[in-house]
């Protein structure tokens, strides 16, 4: 039985991507039985015993101190996001960089945030995303940009909310929207890695990963790579069915009063053809019978 823990699996994946040359160690010959660094080499670089590191990677060591995790992050040349992820994967709750979400219960968007979404609709497509990448709310322009083929009111039902991860991998119109779908898919998986580490007790999140792994071989391959990619600012070239080619900048912000919700906006260079396309989308997405309040989204 494979007893590798999420922490151990991440460490193994990260040492596999480094060579002795990357970290200034001698090769001692060209015949190496493992890709990347050996466990003993990582242990040496981190200043821990080889036995301790081996137990940690094989899931036989329950946790590591923050100091050891930081030493491993330096040894493995982790990025700041990967270092935070390493701490999130630690079994000790105090090591986590963010309070885990409480599993269960429908996520809700505050009235103030819904008002902001509606107010921004004329110029900025926007949505609110929850702890499992469900859209909890979107404005008319956000819906018209990302998912005009879905019912605008679908997010109002917590049991039927569109899920951004599921859409990217399993929904044909969403896949066709992104000119560089592979880059978008990798970033989605990288963010999902972070979400699962921060919420290890969320069974719905675990079920989502299991579903996507079973239904998409591409997701399974990206997931096995243990990529970590926090949401921030990304530029996407889109092929939209209503307005054609456009380039948007996606920015993701934490919601201060709801630490497991994110506010996502899409903007274009002022005066550019893409900005004109977004204005057209606002008109396209507007309907006379549209409700004043924004719907919740996946």
Q: What is the pLDDT of residues 174-225, one digit of tens each?
A: 999 999 999 999 999 999 998 888 888 889 999 999 999 999 999 999 999 8
Asked if 125 contacts 141 with a C-beta cutoff of 8 angstroms, the reply is yes
78 and 118 both lie in a single domain? no
221 and 250 both lie in a single domain? yes
Q: Which of 21-30, 156-165, 253-262 is modeled with the greatest confidence?
A: 156-165
87 and 115 both lie in a single domain? no
Q: Full-prediction pTM beyond 0.85?
A: no
Q: Does residue 135 lie in a domain region?
A: yes
Q: Does residue 104 lie in a domain region?
A: no
- Indicate whether 91 pLDDT > 80: no
153 and 270 both lie in a single domain? yes
Alpha-carbon span 138 to 25, nearest angstrom: 51
Q: Does residue 208 lie in a domain region?
A: yes
17 and 161 both lie in a single domain? no
* CA-wise closest residue to 287 among 152, 114, 92, 95: 152
Alpha-carbon span 187 to 163, nearest angstrom: 15
90: CATH:
1.10.260.40
* Chosen domain end from 95, 126, 156: 95
* Chosen domain end from 95, 122, 137: 95
Question: Could you list the residue range(s) of the whole structural domain that residue 162 is in?
Answer: 111-285
pLDDT score of 296: 33
Q: Does residue 66 lie in a domain region?
A: yes
- Strand, helix or coil for residue 253: strand
Q: Does residue 52 lie in a domain region?
A: yes
Asked if 241 contacts 200 with a C-beta cutoff of 8 angstroms, the reply is no
Q: Does residue 136 lie in a domain region?
A: yes
91 and 150 both lie in a single domain? no
Q: Does residue 290 lie in a domain region?
A: no
231: CATH:
3.30.450.180
pLDDT score of 258: 85
51 and 133 both lie in a single domain? no
The structural domain count of the chain equals 2
Structure tokens at 7: 């922490």
């Amino acid at each position: 039985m494979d007893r590798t823990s999420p922490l151990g699996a991440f460490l193994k994946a990260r040492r596999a991507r480094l060579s002795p040359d990357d970290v200034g160690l001698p090769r001692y010959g060209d015949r190496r039985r493992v890709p990347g660094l050996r466990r003993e080499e990582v242990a040496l670089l981190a200043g821990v015993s080889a036995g301790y590191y081996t137990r940690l990677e094989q899931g036989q060591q329950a946790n590591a101190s923050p100091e050891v995790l930081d030493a491993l992050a330096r040894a493995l040349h982790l990025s700041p996001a990967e270092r935070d992820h390493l701490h999130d994967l630690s079994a000790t709750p105090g090591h986590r960089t963010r309070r885990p979400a409480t599993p269960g219960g429908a996520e809700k968007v505050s009235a103030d945030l819904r008002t902001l979404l509606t107010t921004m609709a004329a110029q900025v497509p926007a949505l609110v995303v929850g702890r499992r990448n469900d859209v909890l709310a979107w404005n008319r322009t956000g819906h018209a940009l990302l998912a005009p083929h879905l019912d605008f009111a679908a997010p109002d039902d917590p049991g039927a909310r569109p899920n951004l991860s599921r859409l990217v991998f399993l929904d044909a119109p969403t896949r066709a929207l992104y000119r560089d779908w592979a880059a978008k898919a990798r970033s989605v998986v990288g963010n999902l890695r972070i979400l699962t580490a921060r919420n290890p007790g969320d069974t719905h999140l675990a079920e989502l990963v299991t579903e996507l792994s079973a239904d998409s071989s591409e997701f399974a391959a990206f997931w096995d790579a243990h990529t970590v990619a926090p949401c921030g600012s990304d530029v996407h070239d889109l092929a939209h069915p209503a307005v054609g080619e456009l380039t948007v900048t996606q920015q993701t912000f934490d919601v201060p009063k709801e630490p497991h919700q994110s506010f996502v906006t899409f903007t274009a260079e002022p005066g550019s053809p893409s900005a004109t396309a977004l204005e057209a989308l606002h008109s396209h997405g507007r309907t006379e019978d549209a409700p004043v309040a924004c719907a919740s989204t996946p």
